[in-house]
Amino acid sequence: MHIPDGLIAPQAYLAAAALAVPCWAYAVRRVANALDERAIPRLAVLTALAFVLSTIMVPLPGGTSAHLSGMGLLVLAFGLWPAFLAFSLVLALQALLLGAGGITALPVNALCMGLAGGAVVVGVRSLFGANTSAWATVLPVWLGVVVAAVLLALVLGAQPYLASDPDGQPQFFPFGPAVTLPVIVLPHMLLGLLEGVLTWMILGILDSRRAAA
Amino acid sequence: MDAVQGYEMSRKIRRRHSACLGLLLLLAGLMLPAGSTLAHGVDYRIERGEAVMVHFSSHHDGAMAGAGFRVFSPDGERIFATGNTDSLGRAVFVPNQPGLWRVLMATEDGHGAEVEVSVEQGSAVTALDPDKDSTALTAGRIPATAAGIGYLFGLAGLLALWRLRR
């Protein structure tokens, strides 16, 4: 789902960086103060799992494909800010090691998927209260994935209006929101369901291990 | 009766000939002042030269065939060429000046890549540096993923050590 380098205009990624840097600084402070010695290895293992999940491409109807993110898993296991930081790390490693996504696009991807998508997961999960049914996990994760996809589609769809040559031709991503919204969001409506079910299963395993310990 | 029919027939033929002649004269008249009327005749010339060829491929689906690409000349302002990659995922263009050219490939679902191609005076491209001019993973995906997991565990270890020291 994440945007690669070269597709977004400098004014878009610089603005995103200006917004993301203070968010990362705040997240580092929260992680340093909130996580204890028992939580750190768990965070490392689940971040690594999110990293591995993000390398798995899921074929979807219509000939397209998308990949899981693990964002909902991190948010529901550790809360918004540690998950935002961990997910940003996953995105950075994907860009540096696997050539997926990008460094200039990292703030945009982190804000849309890690922060906005994560905030939706937290908000919708809180509506369920103490409910521990599958829907209390699947629905928040599904909505978080869909909202993140909508935001990324809007960012990409805005690029033709942000930078064009003297003839009016887009200098970066060339398709407007009328194209990006259906093409990006519809597959992620299916993928979000898969991610929600997977998150519910993994959290169930973690809870049973914790109860047994 | 036959004489009348013959007269009518010859009148029709004469009228048709006049119409044809008039049409030909009209076309001839249109062609005289405007040379562009001949523009529907397409000329061509075959040239041999060096072109820049950029291969686009996806980690999962192989060659990215039929993907739209745009080429920006070194001045960076105008689009020099547009097109779609061929069935092998290749974007081809022939630069007409030295400098740093930019090739941007993007698909509707937000995938794409930006490639910078350095062109020297008198040659299509500079010598290619495999480390710089290709994003193909030299180590492979599984070792790269394993390295990522290692980095994450290492960072967590550092964080745990830092917590213990506090």
User: What are the CA-CA distances from residue A140 to residues A117, B92, B113 (Å)?
Assistant: 10, 45, 32
- Domains, chain A, in order of start with CATH, read 10-212 (1.10.1760.20)
- Asked if the Cβ–Cβ distance from A98 to B147 is below 8 Å, we say no
Nearest CA in chain B to A99: B135
User: Which of B60, B104, B159 has the CB atom closest to A57's CB atom?
Assistant: B60
More confident residue, B157 or B70: B70
Which residue from B71, B75, B74 is spatially nearest to B93, judged by alpha carbons? B71
Q: Is the pLDDT of residue A90 over 80?
A: yes
Residues 6+ apart with CB under 8 A from A206: A77
What pTM was computed for the model? Answer: 0.77
CA B91, B97, B99: angle at the middle one, nearest 5?
80
pLDDT band, very low/low/confident/very high, at A81 (cuts 50, 70, 90) = very high
| Residue indicated by tokens 């050219």 | B101
Q: Are B91 and B105 in contact (CB under 8 A)?
A: yes
- B155 Cβ under 8 Å from any chain A Cβ: yes
User: Which of B60, B79, B114 has the CB atom closest to A169's CB atom?
Assistant: B79
Closest-CA distance, A176 to chain B, in angstroms, reads 9
Of A35-49, A51-65, A163-177, A197-211, the one with minimum mean pLDDT is A51-65
Spatial separation of the C-alpha atoms in residues A40 and B156, rounded to whole Å: 6
Q: Give contacts of A179 with chain B, Cβ < 8 Å.
A: 108
User: Across residues A193-213, what is the average pLDDT?
Assistant: 85
- Asked if the Cβ–Cβ distance from B60 to A65 is below 8 Å, we say yes
More confident residue, B69 or B137: B69
Q: Is the interface score ipTM higher than 0.95?
A: no
pLDDT band, very low/low/confident/very high, at A180 (cuts 50, 70, 90) = very high
- B164 Cβ under 8 Å from any chain A Cβ: yes
